[in-house]
Amino acid sequence: MELTLRGVSHKVGAQQHLYPMDLRLTPNAVTVLLGATQAGKTTLMRLMAGLDRPSDGRVQVDGTDVTGWPVRKRDVAMVYQQFINYPSMTVRDNIASPLKLRGQLDRAAIRKRVDELADKLHIEMHLDKLPAQLSGGQQQRVALARALAKQAPLMLLDEPLVNLDYKLREELREELGQLFAAGQSTVVYATTEPAEALQLGGYTAVMDAGELLQYGPTAEVFHRPASLRVARAFSDPPMNLLIAQGFGDRLQLRPGLELALPGQGGVTVGVRASALRVTQQPGDLAIQGEVELAEISGSDTFVHARTEVGELVAQLTGVHDFELGAPLTLYLNAAHVHVFDAAGLLTRAPERRGAC
Amino acid sequence: MARIDLDLAHAYRPDPKADSDYALLPLKMSFEDGGAYALLGPSGCGKTTLLNIVSGLLRPSQGTVTFDGRDVTALTPQQRNIAQVFQFPVIYDTMTVAENLAFPLRNRGVAPDRIKARVGKIAEMLELNGQLNQRASGLSADAKQKISLGRGLVREDVSAVLFDEPLTVIDPHLKWQLRRKLKQIHNELKLTLIYVTHDQVEALTFADRIVVMTRGRAVQVGTAGELFERPSHRFVGHFIGSPGMNFLPAALDDRGGLSVADQPIAGLVDPVTGAALSRAEPFALGIRPEYVEVDDVGDGVAALPGTITGVVAQVQDIGTYWLLTAKVGPHTLKARLSAHAQPPGVGATVALRVLNPHTCFYGADERLVAGATAPAAPVSTAAAVPASSSAPEGLA
């Protein structure tokens, strides 16, 4: 289904929760709503679901104006942060409940559908248990299975994995990505984590302080953030932002440290943590500093350094040891930086190989 | 400060028999004097049980806890001289920051000038010195938790300081700064610190040595580097890293030839590894996604040394790297490729180099049998290296 928002905004009293926005969700794909807490993600989802009415603007489903239609007239499935299941029903009955309500399938068909979904979400061995007998991750799988059982053309998920351990999150995210890719529903998935958006793929709408900043294919938005605000919202660790002075054919970070890139006047050079290296390659700029902390995530080491151009974070693959306070040289290639003009708009992004 | 030795087990029910009856399976472990340790594992793995046994809040159902050789199994946390920091701030709202920090010292009758010096030092380390005379009640959750950390660290004579997920309430953007503070403080004070968390970043960043736990068992104690390079148990390979280690079934034939996922592999297994593996059958090959090398071979190219053949099922742009998922028969293998590489397309047949110095082998009991084989096959001749060879990130 195709969901379109036209000039939609939301006000509560004098407070503007959402500023007017236009958004056409790509049908039968996943759209990630990415933004910090208070960015307006949940407010926007409630408008999409019909739980709230926008203060202004229209909501259209497949060309039909549904603004103001109550939620029960919309065909929507929702999953929340908290695991919401019927506590007195077995897992099987929980998953079956939307199918029974609809009454289109006979008992055997419902049974078959529930078995399929339970298999997909790896809870087939728990079908006869009560939700309270399951772990948090399993309970959330039940809630997800129930939402999927509904086969609603629009599925809204509000940070569904936030309360789970990171390994479980990783597993479920992968499974969900595959289910969404099957393309049976238009899915909206809210998260605060850039990594989650990248792993789900699809499309991303970046939100900040009640504004929709950018919408497009997830990787495209990540690699070409339209503005500094988008770059800040869609980076973890934060993109390193360096003030530079443009002299026509070169950008000066400080006297003696220059990137051979065009630019005039005051600009901001954005350097993703992964663009900084500790090994030199031909043509690199060398930035001197010292280690503040090496954070190890398991697969990556994030080195926080105090350098001659300010605080920098470098992302290195694998586990690396650094003593606190040790001297460190970081290397940077001009081809790997973003440049934003004085108004904070993107003027240059690194070229990508293998871009689809 | 003390060296802590554990030789114990704990069950909440009497007369435990099966493994599942134990909250903590029999373990023998030492915490060196002045070391920084983390207990890491998913919820329910037994890490908090272990911490409570060290502190004296819980008495193990069998075995002993000794501090510097002295049996303290029956002693209370106070008698053991343990300082603790919990998830949520525990402070006196009506006292000033300085009074809160001084409280544990005053309680023990430390001389006022020594208290002043010590409180000053801890406050400076935690950057609380500007707020020393402020009432604690008006402070943010972050600042309050810093006071809790300071109170845990203020005494010089403690046997150990124990932390139970102390950064839970801290704003995500401030976490790294506090991690840094804790690390600096440990470098300076050399207290014995034990830190419980389910967050791998916290554990790997904070601790010199990490105890990885699952289902009541401590499966590995090691540095961050060791857990990454040589997981001694499949659980560690899986749990550390995102995505975790790949595992594929492997076997040796009568002549010592290795096959992985039912494909004979033209690689070298050194005699020592070979002997260990032949005793361990059946076994699995483990390799991290960072260390899988991917060559787009197209059709009909003879197998390259150390590789198996797979078909690309998915290529994801994770922004800072490409994540490639390949199918090898019914098995799945993930590889992390540099963002600057050109990844092969979905459906392409690829050679996956799974045998190199980073390869590990695991027995049926999920434990490490042998680390890497002899130096990986020499970098292939020009003819064998396709132009689109993508170096894995970890080897770049």
| SS3 label, residue A49 | helix
pLDDT at res. B395: 58
The model's pLDDT over A83-104, given as tens digits with 9 standing for 90+, comes to 889 999 999 999 999 999 888 8
pLDDT at res. B301: 56
Task: Tell me which chain A residue has its CA closest to the CA of residue B336.
Answer: A317
Contact B198 A315 (CB under 8 A): no
Q: How far apart are the first and last CA of chain A?
A: 25
Q: Roughly what angle, to the nearest 10 degrees, separates helices A91-102 and A136-149?
A: 20
| SS3 label, residue B333 | strand
Contact B317 A198 (CB under 8 A): yes
When pLDDT is averaged across residues B170-179 and rounded to a whole number, the result is 79
Contact B318 A198 (CB under 8 A): yes
CA–CA min distance B204, chain A (Å): 6
Cβ contacts of B44 on chain A, cutoff 8 Å? 135
Q: Above 80 in pLDDT, residue A354?
A: no
Cα separation, B193 vs B37, whole angstroms: 6
- Of the pLDDT bands very low, low, confident and very high (cuts 50, 70, 90), residue B188 is confident
pLDDT at res. A356: 44
Q: Above 50 in pLDDT, residue B109?
A: yes
Q: Above 90 in pLDDT, residue B172?
A: no
Q: What are the Cα distances from residue A80, in Å, to A14, A56, A84, A100?
A: 28, 26, 7, 22
Element of type H or E holding B64: strand B62-67
pLDDT at res. B295: 87
pLDDT at res. B386: 37
| SS3 label, residue B31 | strand
Q: Is B196 exposed, middle or buried (0-12, 13-18, 19+ CB in 10 A)?
A: buried
The model's pLDDT over A37-73, given as tens digits with 9 standing for 90+, comes to 889 999 999 999 999 999 999 999 999 999 989 888 8
Contact B316 A304 (CB under 8 A): no
Q: Above 70 in pLDDT, residue A134?
A: yes
Contact A353 B340 (CB under 8 A): yes
What is the predicted ipTM?
Answer: 0.89
pLDDT at res. A353: 63
CA–CA min distance A293, chain B (Å): 6
pLDDT at res. B256: 75
Option in B228, B239, B316 nearest A319 (CB): B228
When pLDDT is averaged across residues A269-297 and rounded to a whole number, the result is 95
- Of the pLDDT bands very low, low, confident and very high (cuts 50, 70, 90), residue B372 is low
The model's pLDDT over B245-293, given as tens digits with 9 standing for 90+, comes to 999 999 888 777 888 999 988 766 676 777 777 776 789 999 999 999 9
Least confident of A191-195, B29-33, B233-237, B296-300: B296-300
A220 is written with which tokens? 């495209």
Residue with tokens 């197209």: B298
How do B283-287 and B246-252 pair as beta strands? antiparallel
The model's pLDDT over A302-334, given as tens digits with 9 standing for 90+, comes to 999 999 999 999 999 999 989 989 999 999 999
Cα separation, B362 vs A62, whole angstroms: 54
Q: Above 90 in pLDDT, residue B392?
A: no
When pLDDT is averaged across residues B326-342 and rounded to a whole number, the result is 93
Contact B42 A296 (CB under 8 A): no
When pLDDT is averaged across residues A330-352 and rounded to a whole number, the result is 95
The model's pLDDT over B115-163, given as tens digits with 9 standing for 90+, comes to 999 999 999 989 898 999 999 998 888 889 999 999 999 998 899 999 9
Sign of CA dihedral B75, B79, B83, B87: positive
pLDDT at res. B67: 96
Say whether pTM exceeds 0.80.
yes
pLDDT at res. B167: 87
Cα separation, B184 vs B127, whole angstroms: 12
Of A21 and B187, which is predicted with more confidence? A21
pLDDT at res. B303: 63
Among A203, A297, A331, A338, the residue to mutate for chain B (most B Cβ within 10 A):
A297
Percent of chain A at pLDDT > 90 equals: 78
Q: Above 90 in pLDDT, residue B335?
A: yes
Average pLDDT, chain B: 87
Average pLDDT, chain A: 92
> If you count residue pairs, one on A and one on B, with CB atoms under 8 Å apart, how many are there?
106
Task: Tell me which chain B residue has its CA closest to the CA of residue A352.
Answer: B340
Task: Tell me which chain B residue has its CA closest to the CA of residue A36.
Answer: B172
Residues of A with CB under 8 A from a CB of B: 135, 165-168, 170, 194-195, 198-199, 201, 218-219, 222-223, 272-274, 292-299, 302, 304, 315, 317-319, 321, 324, 352-354, 356
Evaluate whether B380 touches B342 at the Cβ level (below 8 Å): no
Cα separation, B28 vs B64, whole angstroms: 10
